[in-house]
Structure 1
Amino acid sequence: MIVRIMGEGQLTLADSHLTELNVLDDELLAEMESGDGAGFRATLHALLNKVRELGSPLPDDSLEPSELILPSTEATLEEVRAMLGDDGLIPG
């Protein structure tokens, strides 16, 4: 799957990693619902770092359709809330 981190670029990520990423996504959703700003920030960074760790960057001149779009590390709680789908940021 192709994943875009806003403001950074795209990475290819194996579908097999979605289960691992969903654990962080669920934690992020719980922190957003409880209004835990510090926890939200830490978990967002952990989620994006895990995507960077598990994914392989696409060349900067490559423009592939992204199957998943994630917020930047600087996104606010409100910005991330606007991006949420029924399953959080990551489907599944």
Structure 2
Amino acid sequence: MIVRIMGEGQVRLADSHLAELNKLDDELQAEMENGDGPGFRNTLQALLDKVRQLGEPLPDDSLEPSDLILPAPGATLQDVQELLSDDGLIPGG
């Protein structure tokens, strides 16, 4: 699957990593619902770090369609709320 981190680029990520990412996504969604700004910031950073760690960066000139779009590291709680579906940032979790 192709994951885009807004403002950074895309990475190719094996579907087998979805369960691990969904755990962080669930934490992020709970922190957003509780208005936990510091927890939200930490979990968003952990989610993005995990995607970077597990994924293989695509070249900047690559035009692959993204399966998932994640917010930029500096995104606010409000920015992320606008991106959320009922399933969080990562559908199916």
Superposition TM-score, scaled by structure 1 size: 0.98
User: CA–CA distance in 2 between the matches of 1:26 and 1:8?
Assistant: 23
- Structure 2 residue aligned with 1:11: 11
- Structure 2 residue aligned with 1:50: 50
User: CA–CA distance in 2 between the matches of 1:56 and 1:68?
Assistant: 15
Alignment RMSD: 0.4
Runs of 4 or more off by more than 3 Å in structure 1? none
Could you list the runs of 5+ residues in structure 2 that have no partner in the other structure? none
Could you list the runs of 5+ residues in structure 1 that have no partner in the other structure? none
User: CA–CA distance in 2 between the matches of 1:46 and 1:6?
Assistant: 15
The offset of 1:86, in angstroms, is 1.4
Percent identical: 76
Letter in 2 for 1:14: A
Superposition TM-score, scaled by structure 2 size: 0.97
Secondary structure, counterpart of 1:42 in structure 2: helix
**Which whole-Å deviations, capped at 9, do the CAs of 1:47-76 have from their partners, x for residues lacking one?**
000000000000111111001000000000
